[in-house]
Amino acid sequence: MIDFVTNEEIIQEARRRCAQGAWDYLVGGAESETTLRRNRQAFDKIAFRPRILVDVSHVDTSTTFLGQKLRIPAIFAPIGSLQVFDPAGAVASTQAATEFGIMHCVSSATLPALEETAAATPTPKMFQLYVQGDDQWTQDIVKRVVDSGYVALALTVDVAHYSRRERPMLSRYQPPTQRTRTTTQRSHLAALTWDTMDRIKSLAGLPFMLKGVQTAEDAEIACDHGVDYIWVSNHGGRQIDHGLGSLDTLPEIAQAVRGRAKIVLDGGIQRGSDIIKAIALGADVVALGRLQGWGIAAGGVAGAVRMLEILEDELTCNMGLSGLTSIDQITSKYVCKTDPVAWSHEMSSWVNMPTPRII
């Protein structure tokens, strides 16, 4: 039975169940982990401006994304090597997303095969692509994605070089996908251009997401190329170090997009209050990475569903206390800049976390 009352408990259970290497892979970032910490700090620097005397006896946290109703404005981000946290791998995340009522963006760097994950539940899914082969390789995998019924394709473009992730390096751990990735496969990732993106977008013929946008300049170019969904992401602080937090870059990107595309944001999202902040500053939905991983590691499908239930409760509470009754009411008028009150890191939202549990 899953009886977690906070996501802090879920993280503690995930830590108990994970071997050191797998844990380091999940929670760590690149090099000094500055980008990782800034992801969290960006949320810590935003405060609410709550309104009072509003009837908030009913709060609706749902929204619509890719034509599907989401119970909360969140999706599961693609996570590579999910099978190290639960034997079912991506199927566990997909089943949890379906049971709760959100969508899953399935990673091309996890097991099982994309066809098996697609068939696991009736809920529409997105597919995330790492380009690891030539044009024929790309044509083949995109055809498999289309034939399997995925409703959108997300191209990840922030992995031209695989970063130095020192936490797992120190424990001599490599995730399964990195153990098998060849120099030739990495060279295809490094060679991506806007022309490559155009070819893949045309080939798929699906709603197209560009994942890894971090500047207004690239958001502008993406919109000019007809990208449907701008995915604001720095890979959870796991790729370039010393970057800005995702939420810090969101306002300039939203201004550049000017409504021409939908906006997804990931990086540093730990609580329901973070979802409100992201939407207030321009996102349409957020994508959950580490939270998803912690839920799966702590209790498989049930653990991930419970994590989402807690997130929903936090979202409902903070919307009500802000005087908000629906997602479309959230605007920048409800937030303002402030100073963080604590040192920000990948678990700093949970102030009762015993230190031995998080290392």
Taking only the tens place, the pLDDT of each residue in 219-270 is: 999 999 999 999 999 999 999 999 999 999 999 999 999 999 999 999 999 9
The Cα 315–Cα 61 span in angstroms is 7
Percent of all residues in the chain with a pLDDT value above 90, rounded to a whole number: 86
pLDDT confidence of residue 181? 65
pLDDT confidence of residue 1? 54
pLDDT confidence of residue 217? 98
Higher pLDDT, 312 or 178: 312
Q: State the pLDDT confidence band at 62, using cuts at 50, 70 and 90.
A: very high
The answer on pLDDT for 327 being more than 50 is: yes
Average pLDDT rounded to a whole number, residues 124-129: 98
The answer on pLDDT for 311 being more than 90 is: yes
Q: Mean pLDDT for the chain?
A: 94
Average pLDDT rounded to a whole number, residues 317-343: 97
Query: By mean pLDDT, which of 84-88, 103-107, 177-181 is the weakest?
Result: 177-181
Percent of all residues in the chain with a pLDDT value above 70, rounded to a whole number: 97
pLDDT confidence of residue 160? 81
- The domains located in the chain, with CATH, are 7-342 (3.20.20.70)
Distances (CA, A) of 314 to 42, 100, 221, 262, 318: 19, 15, 36, 24, 6
pLDDT confidence of residue 177? 76
pLDDT confidence of residue 354? 56
The answer on pLDDT for 358 being more than 70 is: no
Average pLDDT rounded to a whole number, residues 28-48: 96
pLDDT confidence of residue 357? 42
The Cα 140–Cα 133 span in angstroms is 10
Query: By mean pLDDT, which of 56-60, 62-66, 148-152, 174-178 is the weakest?
Result: 174-178
The answer on pLDDT for 359 being more than 70 is: no
The answer on pLDDT for 355 being more than 60 is: no
Catalytic residue selected from 58, 161, 225, 235? 235
End-to-end Cα, the chain, rounded Å: 26
Query: By mean pLDDT, which of 80-94, 106-120, 188-202, 338-352 is the weakest?
Result: 338-352
pLDDT tens string 148-205: 999 999 999 999 888 888 898 898 988 887 777 667 777 888 999 999 999 999 999 9
Query: By mean pLDDT, which of 44-53, 290-299, 343-352 is the weakest?
Result: 343-352
Q: Is position 104 annotated as part of the catalytic site?
A: no
